[in-house]
Structure 1
Amino acid sequence: MSGLLKYIEWMSRGRRTDRIAYVMKEWDLPQPLPGAEWQPDARFSAADELLSNPDLKTVFKEALEKGAALYSGPTSDDEIR
């Protein structure tokens, strides 16, 4: 699989942290917080996310250049899966 991937950090019992990782390869994921793990977002569409949040352009650019980028920001209930 190639292209930009999105991972959401989850704590135990289904609680989310506010961290989202955009990576080119799964092994580029940063270390999760203690007690958390990264889960892939199977419904991720880079185009759709950029349309709904243009501020992600710089985050995506960093992920493409460095292999990974973390985003911590407000999330909508639609993103909770």
Structure 2
Amino acid sequence: MNRLRKYVEWMSRGRRTDRIAYVMKEWDLPQPLPGAEWQPDAKFSPADELLTNPNLKAVFKEALEKGWALYSAPGSDDERR
């Protein structure tokens, strides 16, 4: 089943970068920053995210068209991620 997935980029020691990847397939993930890795967000719900941040509509559209899209979230300490 193809569906939009969210991955959050993490550095060592549990620190997050501000990068979030929305992908249709895991192998479409972009390369992480040096020393970082992508972790899936198991609680991701596209509908819920659009309700809290309507600006993501364009990001989701790009991910659906290209297979992936990167989003730099302001404030990497945001608990929603």
What is the TM-score when the length of structure 2 is the normalising length? 0.93
Residues 21-60 of structure 1: pairs in structure 2 closer than 5 A: 21-60=21-60
1:77 corresponds to which residue?
A: 78
- How far 1:79 sits from its partner (Å)? 2.4
Cα RMSD (Å) of the superposition?
1.2
Unaligned runs of 5+ in 2: none
Kindly tell me the number of residue pairs found equivalent between the two proteins.
Answer: 80
- Which amino acid is 1:59 matched to? V
Q: Deviations over 1:3-36 (max 9, x none)?
A: 0000000000000000000000000000000000
Q: List structure 1 runs of 4+ shifted beyond 4 angstroms.
A: none
Unaligned runs of 5+ in 1: none
Confirm whether residue 10 of structure 1 aligns to residue 10 of structure 2.
Answer: yes
Q: Once the two structures are aligned, what percentage of the paired residues are identical?
A: 80
1:20 corresponds to which residue?
A: 20
